[in-house]
Every structure is written in structure tokens, then in C-alpha cells.
């Protein structure tokens, strides 16, 4: 049974970002299975790296859309991403230093809850802006 099922309430209606969010949850589910199966550093390490990388790609996607739509709340939203990026970096570093301690289920639950909370808060707010401010495709990229 997966750790976290995708729910319709997580869908924000911006295709690329919804796909990213699903991908992030998929990696968390793989991590959950790996922890449950008592897998070692050789499995957990790459999965943690994959999660960090996927987050970085996702943040870049959102950032590009902030710029393209001239999103007025971009600064606050980016600050949230930075907080999570720091936290993820700390989790990865901790795992590298003490691989035996592994990543705990409570850490994974924190990451899951943070993702769901962020999607339903900040990302939903941004999606509503995109919807009301018009199509992102109609606006030229300022760069
Ligand atoms: Fe997001
Ligand atoms: Fe976001």
C-alpha cells in the first residue's frame, strides 16, 4: 500500500506543476517502501538524491512561471521553497554522515505533510492567480 495516495484535492490545475507534484509523491512512496523493506544506503541514498533533484527541477518550473506571469507574491512563495530546500539539504547531509540512522518515517511524514500543505496553500494560490490573470502562454517571458 502506498504511503501517500494522490488526491484530487491536490490538483491545482496547472498541468506541468501537477505532474511534478505527483512525481514528488511517487519518490516519497518509493522511499517509504525502501524504509519498510529495511533497504540500505545503496537504495536510500540515491532515492534521497532523486527527491532533492526533483524538488530543484520543480522549484525551477514554478520560478519560471512566476516570472512569466509576473506573479506579485513570488517573493513570499520563493522563501517557502528556500526553507524546504534548506531542510532537504540538511536531511541529505545527515543521511550522508550517518547512513545507518537512515531517513526516518517521521522525517518522511514531515516531507509529505509539508508538500501537501504547500500545494494546498501557496501553489493553489498561485494557480488561482494564473487562472484569473490569464493564460501563461499569452504573456511574454520578460527575460
Ligand atoms: Fe509546487
Ligand atoms: Fe510552490
Distance 7 CA to ligand 2 centre (A): 17
Residue 5 has pLDDT above 90, yes or no: no
Q: Which tens digit of pLDDT belongs to each residue from 58-89?
A: 999 999 999 999 999 999 999 999 999 999 99
Q: What percent of the chain has pLDDT over 70?
A: 90
Distance 123 CA to ligand 2 centre (A): 5
Question: What does the DSSP assignment read for 14-32?
Answer: -HHHHHHHHHHHHHHHHHH
Q: Which tens digit of pLDDT belongs to each residue from 95-110?
A: 887 766 567 888 899 9
Distance 48 CA to ligand 1 centre (A): 18
Return all residues near 40 (Cβ < 8 A) that are at least 6 apart: 99
Domain 15-134 coded CATH 1.20.120.50: yes
Name the band, by pLDDT with cuts 50, 70 and 90, for residue 4.
Answer: confident
Residue ranges covered by each domain of the chain: 15-134
Amino acid at each position: 500500500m502506498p504511503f501517500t495516495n494522490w488526491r484530487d484535492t491536490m490538483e491545482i490545475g496547472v498541468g506541468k506543476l501537477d505532474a511534478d507534484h505527483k512525481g514528488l509523491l511517487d519518490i516519497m512512496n518509493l522511499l517509504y517502501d525502501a524504509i519498510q523493506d529495511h533497504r540500505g544506503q545503496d537504495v536510500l541514498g540515491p532515492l534521497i538524491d532523486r527527491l532533492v533533484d526533483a524538488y530543484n527541477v520543480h522549484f525551477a518550473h514554478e520560478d519560471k512561471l512566476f516570472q512569466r506571469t509576473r506573479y506579485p507574491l513570488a517573493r513570499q512563495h520563493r522563501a517557502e521553497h528556500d526553507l524546504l530546500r534548506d531542510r532537504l539539504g540538511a536531511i541529505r547531509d545527515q543521511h550522508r554522515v550517518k547512513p545507518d540512522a537512515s531517513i526516518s518515517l517521521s522525517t518522511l511524514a514531515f516531507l509529505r505533510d509539508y508538500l501537501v500543505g504547500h500545494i494546498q496553500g501557496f501553489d493553489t494560490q498561485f494557480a488561482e492567480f494564473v487562472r484569473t490573470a490569464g493564460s501563461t502562454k499569452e504573456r511574454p517571458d520578460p527575460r
